[in-house]
Amino acid sequence: MIDEALLRELTPAVIGVLVRRGADFATAEDAVQEAHVQAALTWPHDRPDDPKAWLITVAWRRFVDAHRSEVARREREGRAEAQPAPGPTEAADDTLHLLFLCAHPLLTPTSAVALTLRAVGGLTTRQIAEAYLVPEATMAQRISRAKRTVSGVRFTDVGDPATVRRVLYLVFNEGYTGDVDLAAEAIRLTRQLASTTDDEETAGLLALMLLHHARRPARARPDGSLVPLGEQDRSLWDTDLIIDGIGLLRTALARDRLGEFQAQAAIAALHADAQSAEETDWVQIVEWYDELYLLTDSPIVALNRAVAVGEAHGAAAGLAALAAIDPSVPRRSAAEAHLCEKAGDLRNAAALYAQAAHEATNLSEREHLTRQSARLGDAGRG
């Protein structure tokens, strides 16, 4: 059986080598996918000693075959025939360079994430389409357009760091909830980015990822059902990741150049600091949400702030803050259900949980909200 995890791990480096050799991005990605097909046929009975070098050789041959001409033959045929010798180009990790290319400003955020998941994360078009709840053909067209858009961009013309951070965070979130785990890869790439830049927002992003990732062992029950933050077994949280994340955050905040990822990490750190849900410093969390809203003007931030206000100052105050938020904002029904339950309005809360379940796009979240509605319905009948 072929090692799909290894193929995903090697994909960005192999694409990077081809692009550095002169292949355009779209053709390089296609050639690497063809090499994957060949690997699936060959590796189960004849696995190479150096899988990366094998993929580079096969993908490069596919590229040369697809673009063979008299000039191309004179320039490239010698390299195409031999297994590439180890050297700084082949040994280098081009993943970060490829990430910058996939997050190029010419692309929309959605296209950048899709292309990153394909080229850097190694997901199939089908897996990405399922994550975005669109037909596979639609996602294939989106990825093809994105590849064409960046094909003329030189490998050294990297994207904007802010866009790269945004894409990394979106990849992290996809990895955190999707059927293919990319959270660890997003953390690795963000560490690599942080090591090459003197930037407090990148440090803040890394801190945020670590603090969220630390809670992962407690987020689901053995049957896969979701465990809300307030009900999680905090002894399962990874204290090493929490210490690492808080240390990064403190160093970043000391530079007094606040950004949205630092503010989000500060909120996550306050949750991580609390020994129990009851000990959470909700007043300070509200203050950080105020800072975050000033930075983002985001309705999602306003929604989360309203829930925090409800915890800090009571359900009535939270519902008053929620009233100003547009009903179309995602998860608003779930937030209102929680605050109504906190206020003792169980019948309305049950109906809102049911509505939130209908609106949910994630299966585990939908099942959790359905159970919440049923629980309150049973309580009302009792």
Domain assignment present for 158: no
Give the mean model confidence (pLDDT) for residues 132-160.
Answer: 80
Domain range holding 37? 1-92
Mean pLDDT value across the chain: 85
> What is the reported pLDDT for 71?
47
Contact 357, 370 (CB under 8 A): yes
Please report how the helices 25-42 and 51-66 are oriented relative to each other, as an axis angle in degrees rounded to 10: 120
Domain assignment present for 18: yes
Query: What CA–CA distances, in Å, run from 160 to 33, 82, 110, 257, 370?
Result: 27, 37, 15, 19, 41
Domain assignment present for 219: no
Boundary residue ending a domain (92, 116, 143):
92
> What is the reported pLDDT for 158?
60
Domain assignment present for 327: yes
Boundary residue ending a domain (64, 92, 120):
92
Domain assignment present for 300: yes
Boundary residue ending a domain (51, 77, 92):
92
Q: What is the DSSP string of 180-236?
A: S--HHHHHHHHHHHHHH---HHHHHHHHHHHHHHHTGGGSB-TTS-B--GGGS-GGG
Segment 252-307, tens digit of pLDDT: 999 999 999 999 999 999 999 999 999 999 999 999 999 999 999 999 999 999 99
d(CA 151, CA 7): 23
Domain assignment present for 238: no
d(CA 124, CA 140): 10
Give the mean model confidence (pLDDT) for residues 58-68.
Answer: 82
**What residue has token string 């987020």?**
219
> What is the reported pLDDT for 379?
61
Segment 262-274, tens digit of pLDDT: 999 999 999 999 9
d(CA 12, CA 154): 16
Domain assignment present for 148: no
Segment 198-245, tens digit of pLDDT: 899 999 999 999 999 999 999 988 888 889 999 999 999 999 999 999
Residue 318 sits in a domain whose CATH number is 1.25.40.10
Q: Is the dihedral of CA 128, 162, 251, 281 positive or negative?
A: negative
Segment 8-52, tens digit of pLDDT: 888 888 888 888 888 888 888 888 888 888 888 888 888 888 999
**209-247 burial, b if ≥16 CB within 10 A, otherwise e?**
bbbbbbbeebbeeeeeebeeeeebeeeebbeebbebbbe
Domain assignment present for 336: yes
How many structural domains comprise the chain?
2
pLDDT at 88 over 50: no
